[in-house]
Amino acid sequence: MITDTRAFTILLAAGGSAAVLAAAFGFQYLAGLAPCQLCLWQRWPHAAAIVIGVLALVLRRGLPGRALPILGALAALTAAGIGAFHVGVEQGWWQGLASCSAGSISGLSTADLLNPDVDVGAVVRCDEIAWQMFGLSMAGWNVVLSTLLALLWISAFRRSV
């Protein structure tokens, strides 16, 4: 049993990011929902938060150990920010990135596009919602969960000051 509340909070925050990543890979590989470019970008801050969590648990003393929860919070807020941008693209509030609509077919000629032997690949659009629950898309859930994880990281920081 962990009696150190700071360590437990860091474990929850990093574990939360691990759970978000596991869910993303589950949707991709088990449910067959290919990620768009923005979905992939939302994963990187969670991976960083996991690494930061491990470092924060190992480097418990000194300035680095105390400052790492702030980096964890920034990683979680970065994931939330990318997710919020993605939600805006899905809802049509603003335009998405070029890589979300024509990334794999750029540079191909009309003849290539009509040739069945040329593998064009599937372009996964960022403005189409592939899955949602309770009115929130995966990007929307990432915003909610990442914001909660950022609050956990901030709580861990406050316990170390």
* pLDDT tens digit sequence for 2-43: 558 889 999 999 999 999 999 999 999 998 888 888 989 999
pLDDT reported for residue 150: 97
Backbone dihedral angles phi then psi of residue 136, each to the nearest 5 degrees: -110, 135
Asked if residue 58 has pLDDT above 70, the reply is yes
> Considering the entire predicted model, what is its pTM?
0.81
Confidence at residue 155, expressed as pLDDT on a 0 to 100 scale: 94
Residue 35 per-residue DSSP state: -
> pLDDT higher for 85 or 127?
85
Helix (H, G, I), strand (E, B) or coil at 61: coil
- What contacts 24+ positions apart, CB below 8 Å, involve 65-69? 65/160, 66/157, 66/160, 66/161, 69/10, 69/13, 69/153, 69/154, 69/156, 69/157, 69/160
How confident is residue 108, by pLDDT bands cut at 50, 70 and 90? low
Mean pLDDT of 40-56: 95
**Residue 153: its H or E element:** helix 138-160
Check pLDDT > 70 for residue 104: no
Q: Which residue has the higher pLDDT, 106 or 78?
A: 78
Per-residue model confidence (pLDDT) at position 1: 47
- CA gap 142, 14 in Å, rounded: 14
Residue with token string 């962990």: 2
Q: 109 to each of 33, 116, 123, how far by Cα in Å?
A: 28, 13, 16
Give the pLDDT band of residue 96 (cuts 50, 70, 90). confident
Phi first, then psi, for residue 54 (nearest 5°) are -65, -45
Rounded CA gap, 22 and 18, in Å? 6
Helices (H), 1-116: 5-29, 37-58, 62-91, 110-114
Mean pLDDT over residues 119-142, rounded?
Answer: 78
Mean predicted confidence (pLDDT) in 55-70: 84
Average pLDDT over the chain, rounded to whole?
A: 84
